[in-house]
Structure 1
Amino acid sequence: MSAPTPQHISPDREPPAFAPPARVALRPPTFPPGPVSGAWWPHSADLAAELPALVEAFDASWGRVTRMTAHRETWRHASCDLPVAGHTVRAAWLTSGFDPHAVRLFAYGVGRRDLLVVPPETARATALRLMSAAADPAHHLTASELLAL
């Protein structure tokens, strides 16, 4: 049985002068969430530059992202208040007890989404395989377990 097609994977392109769209793959909404709800493959390790496109993708389809949680070692230079189009996302930075390969997004009154963060330097074929696995409802793996596949 083949893996389901993720809801959305943006094509891999050279980043233009403006912010490129977020490369995101999500589980189908009819399936209960697993340890991750999908994957995000940022273009760089600069969260301030990458987060606006990710939030825009979720604001339009899920609800306004107001908070996020991530591992401090993954995004060393990010602040607690991250401006995005039209509002600010409040960040909580953890150093233990949180998967360093995940990001957790919260939308007020809607809930949360945990995403595998595919490292920006990952080869395209590997990144697409990881994103597909993270979006597959048959998998019940954490972000770190998915990266070990």
Structure 2
Amino acid sequence: MSATLNPILAHPEPVAAPAARLALKTDGASRGLLDGAWWPRSRDLLSELPALTDVLDPLWGRITRIAINPKCWPVIPRQVPVDGHIVKVGWFTPEIDPHKLLLLSYGTGRWDLLVIPPETGAESAARLMAAASDYDGLPLTASALIAADARHGVAATDEPLEPDEAWEYEGGACAVSAAVPHQPGPPCRASRPSRLIVGM
């Protein structure tokens, strides 16, 4: 009798998801409107949120809830399984800026991140990440930062401004210099805390 031996098939190594692309203000900073920026690779919360919590859980404590505006997310799951726990997802149309993600860690705190659209180019995303995690910048909302980059970057438009944006661009704030800061030379490390950049 003859036997046929099948070669032992190696178990494929699990493919690690790419790291979340983040720029965060470091601890100890004065709180502004945003705590940093997140540049997801898609608009799929089920695939994007686990990579985000992998970075944030050790820094901020276990993220238990997020709140979003549904305008920029085509599918909103009620819960997202992440490493070792479930994150509950809520959506609020008028209360949350469409370009912001609100994260809650039970008993620890709340953080607000600018959500940079996935289709944004690398150069524009880098400017937005720097602006959202800048300690010295003016406190602009998430949508105001996106609008400032779009208007004063490559894709400037002639659309009329919303009332809040008009205030910011007509004297209430310095639009591009605040939203898209240019920092000649090395930053002064003694007077400005550093930002944490992940996945870039």
TM-score, normalised relative to structure 1? 0.85
**1:1-149 matched pairs, under 5 angstroms:** 18-139=16-137, 140-149=139-148
Shift of 1:148: 1.7
CA distance in 2, matches of 1:62, 1:96: 27
CA distance in 2, matches of 1:71, 1:81: 15
Residues 74-123 of structure 1: per-residue CA shift (max 9 Å, x gap): 21212111111110001111121210000000011110110000000100
Tell me the SS of whatever aligns to 1:146. Answer: helix
CA distance in 2, matches of 1:18, 1:30: 32
* Greater RCO structure (CA 8 Å; 6+ sep): 1
Shift of 1:52: 0.3
Task: Give the total of aligned pairs.
Answer: 133
Tell me the SS of whatever aligns to 1:34. Answer: coil
User: Please, which moves more after superposition, 86-95 or 25-34?
Assistant: 25-34
Letter in 2 for 1:143: A
Judging by fraction of residues, say which structure has more strand: 1
CA distance in 1, matches of 2:17, 2:31: 29
Letter in 1 for 2:144: E
Identity %: 47
Shift of 1:38: 0.3
CA distance in 2, matches of 1:20, 1:33: 29
Tell me the SS of whatever aligns to 1:89. Answer: strand
Tell me the SS of whatever aligns to 1:60. Answer: helix
TM superposition outliers: structure 1 runs of 4+ over 2 Å: none
Letter in 2 for 1:103: L
Structure 2 alignment gaps of length 5 or more: 1-14, 149-200
TM-score, normalised relative to structure 2? 0.64
RMSD of aligned Cα (Å) = 1.1
Residues 7-33 of structure 1: per-residue CA shift (max 9 Å, x gap): xxxxxxxxxx54110001011222121
Judging by fraction of residues, say which structure has more helix: 2
CA distance in 2, matches of 1:28, 1:18: 26
Shift of 1:61: 1.3
Tell me the SS of whatever aligns to 1:105. Answer: strand
CA distance in 1, matches of 2:17, 2:92: 27
Structure 1 alignment gaps of length 5 or more: 1-16
